[in-house]
Amino acid sequence: RFQACVYFASVFQAMSCGIHYLASVFMAATPNFVCGFPGNVSSILFHNSSASSVQDIWTLWTSTENYIVVQMENGEIWELNQCSRSKREVSLELAYEYKGNKSVFSCSDGFLYDDTKWKSTVVTQWDLICDREWLAKLIQPTFMLGVLIGAVIFGDIADRLGRQRVIWFTSAGQFVFGIAVAFTFDYYSFVIVRFLLAMVSSGYLVVAFVYVTEFVGIKARTWASMHVHAFFAMGIMVVALVGFLVRTWWVYQIFLSISTLPFVLCCWMLPETPFWLLSEERYEDAQKVIDTMARWNKVNTPCKVTELCSVQQDDLVSGRAGENDTSSAKKHNILDLFCNWQIARRTITVWLIWFTGSLGYYVFSLSSVSLGGNEYLNLFLIGAVELPCYIIACVAMDKLGRRNTLIPFLILSALICVLIMFIPQDFNILIILANMAGKFSIGVAFGLIYLYTAELYPTIVRSLAVGSGSMMCRVGSVVAPFCVYLRSVWIFMPLLLVGIMALLSGILTIMLPETLGKPLTNTLVEATEMGRNTKSTSGKTPPAHSGAAPEKIEMFGQETVSPEK
């Protein structure tokens, strides 16, 4: 009962991470627009249709190559394009087509925006179009850069100051910075506050994984850690719902930020984890937490810290001499992941899978609003399809094996990317379903790689391997927005890149060893031999429960590895 309450309270706030990661898909949307006109208008013409106001024209607008012809009260006729306007030298009659001389002017009177979908976005607020369009395209990449830095900083702080304090700070920070974004006064302050918001959001997500895996028992650990991703996906669904209901960007941002306010108000009640308290030798505090857990769970004979410490001390004394001989002789670094050809090939493949998983995840998510049809429903479905994919991943990795699950889903995602290219653009429903299938398949691979990486490497470099892999994951998340922008070059360019990366990753994964049912290795020699003797050793050991590894903590003989988005 105690662990369940702590788990659901912690992962509830993970929704806010999904919310802020994808909030920009609507907040930074660019509506149709044209140059403003210099004065009062008497007539408006678009192709063969006339209108009394520009707002009546937007329903007919089909391409950025279109323009609007307006006649001013003084008789001047202007052609309004997106980034310039032209004054006709000869103003005999109002007609859409004109072959005479024109004088081209800049948009000194501002812009006219289509507000049928959005009353206001950050693009319309600060005119992030034309020669300032690149500023709008930096909004999501700078956020993802904050995600990268925040994960590194707060992951280290959590080990030094404790999980509880970081959870307090980052959850409160998400609320404060989230609200502050809505009240920024210019583009640069907006980007800076969003960058800080990204840091605390990423920090919370990283520490939340560690926090829940230190409370949840071994049998449920993989399921519990995997389904933190499910709450992240629910955050994406909240973005779609709020985006549909609220069409002004700063009000939209406020509603998104207060959606997880209940957690901020009660997060101070969450206890510190006994694992961290014991590692800091705060035995009395650890005993208090354990006693609280015993009361909640109605355990009559709670665990005594003194007994655990005596067992741990005996293990440390017996193994200290050998540990000092090995660990002090050599400090391991990133080069150990390339110590021989077998391990180097494994590292390159694993890094590629991490990068591809993150790239595909965010390309499918960010581009969902551009698929046609209802963009709010599209994003909602892209988030909802993740919920079953983690269940499939958990079941498949224990039944079929890690590699045998990873390969088909990577290759399947590549095939789906190719399939989408051949679907006619008029078939909106089929395109959306195919994108959901692509997000599902890449989601399975993305969720599975965390545990698989931990099992592929020996104890001495395991945390280094997972840490370097997660860094490649964040590099993929920074690259993903730029990949989506390549739609302006060719509409299928993002899918082509994801498909190539997924296919290459799937093929290279064939050379990785299967780890299901294998004991964790301790040395690089053992890890190398596991790759060479995959077939001969397969099935000789009883299947190890997949919950045996998600977070890097060595306490009472347990070693686990923590995943992060």
Per-residue confidence (pLDDT) for residue 385, from 0 to 100: 92
In this structure, are residues 474 and 350 in contact, taking their beta carbons and an 8 Å threshold?
no
Assigned CATH for 1-30+120-270: 1.20.1250.20
Residue of 235, 244, 254 whose CA lies nearest to 378: 244
Residue of 484, 373, 390, 490 whose CA lies nearest to 432: 373
DSSP secondary structure letter of residue 116: S
Residue 534's pLDDT band (cuts 50, 70, 90): low
Per-residue confidence (pLDDT) for residue 564, from 0 to 100: 54
H/E stretch holding 561 reads none
* Rounded distance between C-alpha atoms, residue 181 and residue 362, angstroms: 22
Per-residue confidence (pLDDT) for residue 308, from 0 to 100: 65
Task: Kindly report, as residue ranges, where domains of CATH 1.20.1250.20 are found in the chain.
Answer: 1-30+120-270, 336-531
Which range has highest mean pLDDT (72-86, 301-315, 349-363, 533-547)? 349-363
Determine which of 140-144, 238-242, 280-284, 316-320 has the lowest per-residue pLDDT on average: 316-320
Residue of 401, 342, 400, 345 whose CA lies nearest to 530: 342
Tens digits of residue pLDDT in 405-463: 999 999 999 999 999 999 988 888 899 999 999 999 999 988 888 778 878 888 777 76
Is 1.20.1250.20 the CATH number for 336-531? yes
Side-chain half-sphere exposure of 482, counting CA atoms within 13 A: 10
Per-residue confidence (pLDDT) for residue 558, from 0 to 100: 39
Residue with tokens 């200290």: 320
pLDDT at position 544 over 80: no
pLDDT at position 6 over 50: yes
Per-residue confidence (pLDDT) for residue 259, from 0 to 100: 81
51-61 average pLDDT score: 75
Alpha helices by DSSP H, listed for 248-385, are 249-258, 261-266, 274-279, 283-296, 305-327, 341-366, 375-384
pLDDT at position 545 over 70: no
Burial class (CB within 10 angstroms; exposed 0-12, middle 13-18, buried 19+) of 372: middle
Determine which of 84-88, 130-134, 159-163, 345-349 has the lowest per-residue pLDDT on average: 159-163
In this structure, are residues 154 and 173 in contact, taking their beta carbons and an 8 Å threshold?
no
Per-residue confidence (pLDDT) for residue 208, from 0 to 100: 84
pLDDT at position 550 over 60: no
Tens digits of residue pLDDT in 200-241: 998 888 888 778 877 887 677 778 777 888 899 999 999 999
Per-residue confidence (pLDDT) for residue 425, from 0 to 100: 83
* Number of helical (H) and strand (E) elements in the chain, helices listed first: 24, 10
Q: 331 Cβ partners below 8 Å, 6+ apart?
A: none
* Rounded distance between C-alpha atoms, residue 377 and residue 236, angstroms: 11
| CA distance readout (Å), 474 to 151, 225, 453 | 9, 19, 16
Mean residue pLDDT across the chain: 82
Per-residue confidence (pLDDT) for residue 198, from 0 to 100: 94
In this structure, are residues 392 and 260 in contact, taking their beta carbons and an 8 Å threshold?
no
The residue that leads in pLDDT, 57 or 16, is 16
Q: Alpha-carbon torsion 480, 486, 491, 494, what sign?
A: negative
The residue that leads in pLDDT, 514 or 94, is 514
Per-residue confidence (pLDDT) for residue 408, from 0 to 100: 94
The residue that leads in pLDDT, 104 or 152, is 104
34: helix, strand or coil: strand
- Does the predicted TM-score (pTM) go above 0.85? no
Per-residue confidence (pLDDT) for residue 546, from 0 to 100: 40
Residue 163's pLDDT band (cuts 50, 70, 90): confident
Radius of gyration of the chain (CA): 28
**Percent of the chain having pLDDT more than 70?**
87
Per-residue confidence (pLDDT) for residue 88, from 0 to 100: 85
Angle between helix 218-226 and helix 428-456 axes, rounded to 10 deg: 140
In this structure, are residues 33 and 112 in contact, taking their beta carbons and an 8 Å threshold?
yes
Per-residue confidence (pLDDT) for residue 325, from 0 to 100: 46
| CA distance readout (Å), 415 to 353, 437, 476, 490 | 16, 11, 20, 19
Residue 554, Ramachandran bin (φ over 0: left; ψ between -120 and 50: alpha; else beta) = beta
Tens digits of residue pLDDT in 487-508: 888 889 999 999 999 999 999 9
H/E stretch holding 112 reads strand 111-113
Amino acid at 492: F
In this structure, are residues 278 and 284 in contact, taking their beta carbons and an 8 Å threshold?
no
Could you tell me the two tokens for 391?
Answer: 């269940």
In this structure, are residues 140 and 192 in contact, taking their beta carbons and an 8 Å threshold?
no
Residue 175's pLDDT band (cuts 50, 70, 90): very high
77: helix, strand or coil: strand
